[in-house]
Amino acid sequence: QMHKDALEKYESTNLLFEFGAGKSLVQNLYLSNWVKKQIVVDLYPMIDFKLCDYAREKLSKINKLRSKVRIKNLKDLENFGIYYIAPYNATKIHLPDKSIDACVSTNTLEHIPKVNIIEIFSELYRKIKDDGIVSLLIDYSDHYAHTDNNISLLNYLRFTSYQWKRYNHKFHYQNRLRHYEYINIFEKIGFKVINEDLVYAENNIPTIISDSFKNVSPTWRATSAHIILKKAI
């Protein structure tokens, strides 16, 4: 809904690009009622057609979708204006420069190393239209806290870089970047922030963590955010 509202507000509904689309494409199926064409990609093939069709069925009971076709393969997705490509490296987008109206990303960036985020957004800057937008949902919380109530949402910040490198499993990689660090990356590339909604869902922060961030922006405490970017022309 956040992406949909942003796409409508800034009239960016012609060509959408998304990296890190996931298994069910429920978000893309929902947005298909407003977006003409979506190119959605994953670094590795993730799509599950049974989950896609389940999502289609559930969504159709809430809103009438642009197609009633059951989803069994990639061709069926095209009836919804969705073109799924994987494997696909978003650091090299195959579209012409200044051709994308909008890029969206949902709970994906926190799983990408900083160096690759810089590469992706440098490429996006070239590919997105001058009046296009980037709508981002980023989860800044320790994902292990999602299934372990005994640890806080910021628990992983207690570890040194050396320690976290040992714990940070490659199949569940978390970069631990804080909100202000993302903003610095985007602005250095040439984007400007036109909207940012931050969520602070963790109040019990140990001193060992808070002391290590006392000289930086207080946004380090954010546990998630919705950010909208435009080119700073």
Instruction: Tell me the three state secondary structure of residue 26.
Output: helix
What is the predicted pLDDT for the residue at 189?
98
Pick the closest to residue 85 from 7, 28, 5, 2 (CA basis).
28
What is the predicted pLDDT for the residue at 171?
87
* In contact, 193 and 120? CB cutoff 8 Å: no
What is the predicted pLDDT for the residue at 63?
87
What is the predicted pLDDT for the residue at 147?
94
What is the predicted pLDDT for the residue at 129?
98
Find the DSSP H helices in the chain. 2-9, 26-31, 49-60, 74-77, 114-127, 161-167, 179-189, 207-210
- Measured between alpha carbons, how far is 228 from 5 in angstroms, rounded to an integer? 11
Provide block-wise average pLDDT over 10 residues at a time, the chain (233 residues): 97 97 96 97 96 97 93 98 98 97 98 97 98 98 95 95 92 96 98 98 93 95 98 90
| Tokens standing for residue 174 | 């978390």
- Measured between alpha carbons, how far is 16 from 18 in angstroms, rounded to an integer? 7
Pick the closest to residue 106 from 19, 13, 171 (CA basis).
19
Instruction: Please indicate, yes or no, whether the overall pTM of this predicted structure exceeds 0.85.
Output: yes
- Measured between alpha carbons, how far is 35 from 15 in angstroms, rounded to an integer? 7
**Which residues in 7-52 belong to E strands, given as ranges?**
15-19, 37-41
What is the predicted pLDDT for the residue at 170?
86
- Measured between alpha carbons, how far is 18 from 104 in angstroms, rounded to an integer? 5
Burial class (CB in 10 A: 0-12, 13-18, 19+), 153: buried
Could you identify the residue written with the tokens 């990609």?
41
What is the predicted pLDDT for the residue at 31?
97
